[in-house]
Chain A
Amino acid sequence: MVSVEDYGEYETAWCPGCGDFNILKAVKAALANLAMPPSEVLMVSGIGQAGKLPQYLNCNFFNGLHGRTLPPATAAKLANHELTVIAVAGDGDCYGEGGNHLIHAVRRNPDITVIVHNNQIYGLTKGQASPTSERGMVSKIQKQGVFNNPFNPIAFAISQDCSFVGRGYAGDVQHLTELLMKAIQHRGLSLVDVLQPCVTFNKLNTFKWYSNRVYKMEEGEYALDDRVKAFERSLEWGDRIPLGIFYTNERPILEDNHEILKEAPLIRHKPETGRVNRLIEGFT
């Protein structure tokens, strides 16, 4: 049996009331519910308040660079696909600094889960606009208000045929836990965008703001592999913001593309130096 306690209890550096606490709760609950022993879980994160999440968990982790969450996560899965690999990022980390990696991670489709704490702001660097900030939001840098259009991660992911696309909300731990469980169980790259109020710097998108808008999509409203319907739904943002699974598909995963991984994880293959003798022959 695996329990939530197995995932430990740590003192955090987050502000009291931050949405990140509930995401941490949901992650622990999802892993415990799925009976995953901590030693088989590898969390990979970048830098930001979101990126610190693995620090507050009992499990293997690789906390790397800002924006660079997905490349090591992808490669870690290739090196040992028996690990459950979960990438944790902020919206700045995943959609800003690491946007290019997201595009290509979706194309590669490794069997990993990507959880993005989307607080529509840069938390750790104290309140600059993020790629998902609303137009017009004023910050110390964007004095006249944000000019750029907000990035729509859900629409983006569906447009690129991402294998699993969902949205959760840090104000609803129960729903988020279930969503994360499905995402982790899904074979292929799962992107879960989590609406996360930053109580310190984002005075616009508060718990109240989100709570007044979010609603849960009904299961069976449309077939989840219907990309066009899913895309339509992904454009809904404003007075009503849908939560849940938007889209899934059964694309082949990156690990399947490597014959060698079929027998055993890469790291368990024993190299044999002498095998290059045949190649050396070709140079004589």
Chain B
Amino acid sequence: MIAELAKGMGITLKHFFQTPVTIQYPDVQRPVRNRFKGRHELKRYDNGLEKCIGCSLCAAACPADAIFVEAAENTDDERYSPGERFARVYEINMLRCIFCGYCEDACPTEAIVLEHNYELSFYDRQSAIYTKDMLIVDVPVNGRPTPQVVEPGVFTKAIPEMENPA
């Protein structure tokens, strides 16, 4: 019995002299895996147009009912996205979301993508609702911000012709 007790003590002592495995979280951030599902982002095409066409398929697919989309019509003088419509309101309630990624699967234009930000904590419920402004990515370097004034008849369809238009 004494030998076993001593062995146990030895193991704890061995660990005492090893370096701790702790990662000092806010100072040192551990990279997440590539396919990690964190906070959503709404993507843009290279020319700056939004990928989201306001079709609400993500909202329909969402098992937690976390997404709210309200679409509006695009015009060539005020174009947000290729195609007929764009998302005028796009909100995700991060307290409801279970990060399943179904929205990502449902989206026909690959507009919504679950990215790597997992630092989602809020002081109140209201601030847990992410609006379109918070979700959408920055305009790419050689793109223009939306709404854009475009030539008539160029951006009439979303996919597949709109794969990164010039």
Partners in one complex: no
Chain B residues within CB distance 8 Å of chain A: none
Chain A residues within CB distance 8 Å of chain B: none
